[in-house]
Structure 1
């Protein structure tokens, strides 16, 4: 089977997910490169794999499958996947250092500022509008830039660099190398500036930790950290804002229920994350030694793709899995991954999604789609799933 699969609409899952969960939970797929890999689609299998140290990030091994064609590779090329930060004690050390600064308290303190930015952006919107262009993209990029102490005036450059890092098909290797070089040079200069003249931002704080006695983050580690936070901190959330609102507006009763009960906002955000039929390409892993998944033996040297979107719709874990249940509790979705490599920025993403949804309900209660849900278009070629645009009116 060719992968990724083609969905029927931008908001609906591919038909293959349900069939594979039932009949072939470890299935052989063919990537855009022509190389073969294995795909996992069941919740229990995906969650277990993500926490298993035998499934590694070493995707540049000679026998690892190329996930894109030979002239591109985006974030899955040779940059960083074999670094000490990606696995083992090096990764645990990096997470410990990050956890000292990137705390839930720090993120929650951003909530009033996120609300302020959302209101300012809505002030500038006029119906009909593209909600992604007007709100979905500029809000998270403004927030992550403030968190990192970077000027948001560079956001068009950040958008290009992020697109290059996250796109499997659009860019040649020369274009990817140029974008990666420019991005690295920008962040290297930013990190050095923060070391020389610290401010009240995360990078300044990490730069101090880098020079402290109780833990040392090298300059290269700090640059890579800043790059990763900037890409993940705005691209994924920007896409999720658009998809979340599209899901809620595609069935007007969902939006009306939230208008009647704002207490459902946190659980509605979690359910949007679970219900997302266009989350991402999947999380790839390289198998360092033979392992058994269900009744299948996966040989060492295999490349495995974990399909989080399919796992989050597994009826063996979630009752009424094919329905968007706004008050679903508990909701053990794995939209942010699982285990030691779960998304570091998930607390920030949750605060942004909850705050944006609350502001939209307050400011634009009559919000509705300006086109039918079937007319919405997915962004193609990206590792991170999203919509091309979200036309709305109110």
Structure 2
């Protein structure tokens, strides 16, 4: 039997899905592929099938943390993150950590995010064109928000960035480096947790350290796992998402002009940008079947690894008319970019706020923004869970 083709698929255009997605949606919605570890997995692409895998408890997230289990990211091994647990443990963890994302706290963060985005873009404008949007906004905005949430100094950002870049690599030979980076981050976060216990502050980590429900608390390992998750999903995903969103809008000048004139259209536009985005590829959604299950007419055996491919599902023509087009007025827009079911992203609302604040600030502050180089000259990261250009140089009309 031939070896299944390698996954992730390659694409000449980082902003658009590989050609294989449309082919699989049409001809082979459930098919075998080989991930970088050499493990075979079932790739599921159609919207309804992906939703089912994401919500069906017969597909386990926790099973990927076991030694030797198929996984795309080495960081998943042994993790106790809410991101990779099953009920009832997942139910317990989510109940405790959800306090960090209460409506009141999100409203407070929203005000801070908008102010920070305006501050960062104002600094870019003051320095004058050209400017690097990655260094000026896409990286500092989400990581500053995360640092404020955790109560850590911004001066430590370079260390966070270096550790998490390694931890979110899927390179087959990176396990040693991943373990070293995770241990370094664990030492740092452990010291931070202990400091919060001794001197509570008005930050998310203090809330989590103190969070209790009928005497139940998060232990240190669970707090560490949440810190990893927050840095990965809250920083890297948003940084990549901002880059993809801006580049997509720059390819659609009519939509860009509309947003300048109709800022109220920004929330709907962000939802459509999220649907089309290739920033994350849904690679973190891997599951393992607990029992034999049939998906899309294909029998998946107990113990088989299954990857519900969110980016393909978001282009399913059975659900999204003209799926490759950018249609900011698309309604409804039931994309799966933040997942589905019990593992739906806790920080989804914060992610939306950051994208709206970042794009809105760029359009208000940098009139006529455009790339300073040809798009083909951008250098993209490879082997990371969230693809992004190393730099994103832009120019604009000076007032």
TM-score normalised by length of structure 1: 0.93
> Secondary structure, in 3 states, of the residue corresponding to 1:204?
helix
Distance 1:347 1:159, change over 3 A: same
Instruction: Give the aligned partner of residue 40 of structure 2.
Output: 36
Query: In the TM superposition, what are the counterparts of 1:9-24 in structure 2 within 5 Å?
Result: 9-24=13-28
Rounded Cα–Cα distance in structure 2 between residues aligned with 1:294 and 1:169 = 30
Instruction: Give the aligned partner of residue 70 of structure 1.
Output: none
Instruction: Give the aligned partner of residue 74 of structure 2.
Output: 74
Distance 1:118 1:364, change over 3 A: same
CA drift of 1:207 comes to 1.4
Q: Contact 2:381/2:387 (CA < 8 Å) preserved in 1?
A: yes
Matched, 1:97 2:123: no
> Secondary structure, in 3 states, of the residue corresponding to 2:359?
helix
**2:140 aligned to which of 138, 141, 146:** 138
Rounded Cα–Cα distance in structure 2 between residues aligned with 1:273 and 1:237 = 11
Q: Deviations over 1:166-222 (max 9, x none)?
A: 101186333222111110111111111111110001111121114x64532222212
Instruction: Give the aligned partner of residue 256 of structure 1.
Output: 257
Q: Contact 1:170/1:381 (CA < 8 Å) preserved in 2?
A: no
Matched, 1:53 2:52: no
> Which is further off, 358-367 or 258-267?
358-367
Rounded Cα–Cα distance in structure 1 between residues aligned with 2:227 and 2:160 = 12
Q: Contact 1:3/1:29 (CA < 8 Å) preserved in 2?
A: yes
Query: In the TM superposition, what are the counterparts of 1:170-319 in structure 2 within 5 Å?
Result: 172-210=174-212, 213-280=214-281, 282=283, 283-319=285-321
CA drift of 1:375 comes to 4.1
> Secondary structure, in 3 states, of the residue corresponding to 2:216?
coil
Rounded Cα–Cα distance in structure 2 between residues aligned with 1:233 and 1:62 = 27
> Secondary structure, in 3 states, of the residue corresponding to 1:110?
helix
Rounded Cα–Cα distance in structure 2 between residues aligned with 1:374 and 1:19 = 25
Q: Contact 1:145/1:230 (CA < 8 Å) preserved in 2?
A: no
Give RMSD over aligned pairs: 2.0
Task: Count the aligned residue pairs.
Answer: 387
CA drift of 1:62 comes to 6.7
Q: Deviations over 1:196-255 (max 9, x none)?
A: 110001111121114x64532222212221232122211111111111111001121110
Q: Contact 1:379/1:388 (CA < 8 Å) preserved in 2?
A: yes
> Which is further off, 82-91 or 167-176?
82-91
Rounded Cα–Cα distance in structure 2 between residues aligned with 1:229 and 1:83 = 11
Rounded Cα–Cα distance in structure 1 between residues aligned with 2:47 and 2:252 = 26
Q: Contact 2:75/2:178 (CA < 8 Å) preserved in 1?
A: no
Rounded Cα–Cα distance in structure 1 between residues aligned with 2:185 and 2:342 = 27
**2:392 aligned to which of 379, 390, 394:** 390
Rounded Cα–Cα distance in structure 2 between residues aligned with 1:145 and 1:33 = 32
Rounded Cα–Cα distance in structure 2 between residues aligned with 1:224 and 1:188 = 11
Q: Contact 1:281/1:382 (CA < 8 Å) preserved in 2?
A: no
Matched, 1:363 2:377: no
